[in-house]
Structure 1
Amino acid sequence: MSAPESTTASTTPTSSTPTSTPEQPRANAILKEITGGNVLITVLAVFLALLIGGVLIALTNEDVQAAAGYFFSRPQDTFLAIWNAVSGAYVALFQGSIYNFRRDDFLTAIRPLTDTLTYAAPLIVAGLGVGLAFRVGMFNIGGRGQMLIAAAAAGWVGFSFELPWGIHLIVAVIAGILGGAFWGGIVGLLKARTGAHEVILTIMLNYVAFYLVAYMLRTPGLLQAPGQVNPKSPPMLETAIFPSLFGPAYKLHAGFILVILATIFVWWLLNRSSLGFRFRAVGENPNAARVAGMDVKNIYVYAMLVSGGLLGLAGVMQVLGTVPTGFSSGIDAGIGFDAITVALLGRSRPWGIFAAGILFGAFKAGGYSMQASQGVPVDVVTIVQSLIVLFIAAPPLVRAIFFLPDGTRRRRRTTPIVTKEVAAK
């Protein structure tokens, strides 16, 4: 007589038991937390930054300080002075960046918007480069160096060769993109082959690029203008300059069309191409991507090539569009570091970066108007930008301020373990 079958389910896992994936690296987890928020958090972060900026404007305003001296006798004067200071500053910001309704005709009134788009163009493409690296799990903070090398390459082609109109501009743009891609590719190659951290590599290469370009600008026969004492390049030839989109009265040039095309390209690359799928897979978890058969080392090289090329395009915008009269070693204008802010605000999504670049371009264009008409220091705008990034990087803080539910929590789904004995029953 056979022994009775045991009715107790075995705890031995079978093939139906879910297998565990390699643990995600901590750096990638932090990066996903920063870039994985939603639109509401972004809007509220901007609102909070503007609110705190308004407090700073009020505290530094002389009329508010004077009215505060007799606050308890006439408090309405203090509140009126605060309103006038804050509203006047933000109205000036709007007039200097979007639309100046004090102008007589529409074409003149809309000119501030074209200035905003001009400032935003290099920020957007640089932010696309930084954001793409973020999606692969890499911190590309070498935008300054990549922009400088690209500017040197595009500028050299722009003033050294006499080519037909159209061809000259295309060759100069390609030279700049290749220069930025080469400088970024060095980082990817060293990380892939030696395991060196990209943050250290990009910081050091920023210094190498700066001093290399500064040396070439001081050396006759390289980048220095003939007969020029100061370290500055010759002006670009007319055939290598981005043409104006709306005439000489406006700063916006045809390079902004390249910005739109670059945004579409990055969106397609990340969301519709097989290479973009590998980029995102490595960014989510390089260990799991390696187990799936992906060549993670080559992905790092490809990502830095594309990222450096996009940042190089930002340098091209500066040399062939914004400052075509000759450039110095400060041609990057801090855009390489501002691009990190733009990429974070845009959540490393192409169209989010596009919108964030326009917002920061508006801050830059309107900041001068605030200072000129209201006497507000331009530093206040920088503080507002920094606060935006602070709140973007801390979604729990924004949720706590506005009493929002934590939308990241998900109910865990448990998968029962099915054994052979239970399946047989």
Structure 2
Amino acid sequence: MHPHHPDTTSPLRHGRRILTQMVAVAALAFALVAGSVAAAPASITTSAAASAPTARSAADTCPAQILKSGKLTDVYESYYKYAYKKIKGTKKYRKAVVKAKRKLMVSCTRSCVRTKTKTVKRYKYKTVVRKGKKVKVRTGKPKSVKVTVPVYKSVKKTVTVKKGNRIVKVKKKVKAYTYEKCKTSGDSAAGSPVKVTMLDGSYALLDFGAFQRQAPISGTLTGLIPGGYKLNQDNQINLTRGNLTLGRTNVFIDDDCHGGQVSAAIRTGTPTNVNLDPTRQSISTLTAAGGVTATAYTKIQLPLELRNDDDGCDQPYITTGFTEFTQTFFLKGKIGKGTGLAKLTLTSPPDPLDVQACLSPGSPTSPCNNSALIIPLPIIVSTNLLVSIKVG
């Protein structure tokens, strides 16, 4: 063979040809999906866009918690509101300004009041009678004790105040709590540990426009209910760790093998991990009315498995390195009668997902080693999860 003529039968040359074909297949899929997303019904695109800010706003605020007597409890704030009060001795009502209390809502990522420990002197007192009056006087030496106190800061903010029979807004300097990320542990005094397990039948629906695939989901998530589980009240679950895996799923299927045998040209690799994003706080809420809502911020690590063209029909698939991208899932469900938390369904609505697909051969547990062979592959994803929630 002439030294200046490349060996067209070499494995490297053959591999490049296969990858070129895979890029062409993926590019075709990209065009199909992009068209389907552009032509998606208005009920999907507009409703998802309209509801997202509201869902995010509700999901990103949680009741503030403060540590008291070794237990996290909700923080309440006072505010003014209008109410109608009955005029004494008549059947008439008048509009009045009244004071009320409500839970203080803050960012879920930093929802615990920052505290510090300081030493104070405590005295013992006794009651004595002086000049015919009972008074308390100190006895003995003071005792030094350590107490936990909140950390405050002075901020200028808009607050509501009462002026006569009106509520007005004014800007003033106030003393406010400072916040930090809630400390999570298995200590029942700090909260109730929670374990969420995916049951058989859980899946993600991947909509490529021209076709759909169901990808099975398994794994567990763990978290904590700050302050402990409360009966007949809303309970917030701070999800802290865990790992979900996506089962191997055929993506592009053809009948090119052995004159009509159906097989996958591209399928998802193993392991495909769906991890909680450690930089954001994923929150789930069990409502007193039996509803369940959850916001899960995830990082997805996706490797692929590629069939080695028509020659690879009976050969092992080529594995690729993984690509990593983020996705936020907004889930909701309702606790059913008879099953309770042992088995409930959580679903998330269809939402665009910008998948980054690696077509470069490599280890599925290592990042993609060739950025030039990473292509975008937009799909629409929704989930249907069967879960078991164990508290304590």
**Which structure carries more relative contact order (alpha carbon 8 Å, separation 6+)?**
1
TM bin, normalised by shorter chain, reads under 0.3
TM-score by length of 2: 0.22
Higher strand share: 2
Query: Which of these two proteins has the greater Rg computed from alpha carbons?
Result: 2
Higher helix share: 1
